[in-house]
A = this chain, B = another copy of it.
């Protein structure tokens, strides 16, 4: 083999993602939740009235595992499950006033995290990284049932 272990993309990706995810976990721990909670709030904020499964694809979480995630946000009174009058099987998700008020603070946390990332990268590398990661994601369509 021509490649040394430390250049294998699989392991490198694993370590990089562990590092970045760990920083994100620390970022949102003070608020009592994980990066997915923040991402869920952002989606509901941009798509008021969306149904739970709309979050599934964006977050890579199955509908059964979404339930608990949303439960936790409901418990903290940050989002609400309202009735969808057009299709009563689904819930219409909305941010509460409390959730809306909390978002800017969470955004600052996210920005601080992104700042730490940016400090590791040269100018323009962030965009390159995003493009490359998108390409890698194509290796496998994650089908979130």
Q: How far is the CA of A11 from the CA of B9 in the complex (A)?
A: 18
Residue among B9, B117, B120 making CB contact with A129, cutoff 8 Å? B9
| In contact, A13 and B10 (Cβ under 8 angstroms) | no
| In contact, A5 and B42 (Cβ under 8 angstroms) | yes
Interface string of A38-61 (1 = CB under 8 A from B): 010011001000000000001110
| In contact, A39 and B11 (Cβ under 8 angstroms) | yes
Tell me the interface secondary structure of chain A in the complex: helix
The answer, yes or no, to whether A31 is at the interface (CB within 8 Å) is no
The answer, yes or no, to whether A68 is at the interface (CB within 8 Å) is no
Q: Which of A22, A24, A46, A58: most chain B Cβ within 10 A?
A: A24
> Using a CB–CB distance below 8 Å, which chain A residues touch chain B?
1, 3, 5-24, 35, 39, 42-43, 46, 58-60, 107, 110, 113-114, 116-117, 120-121, 125-126, 128-130, 132-140, 142
Q: How far is the CA of A11 from the CA of B38 in the complex (A)?
A: 11
| In contact, A19 and B137 (Cβ under 8 angstroms) | yes
Given A121-B132, A129-B132, A5-B58 contact (CB < 8 Å)? yes
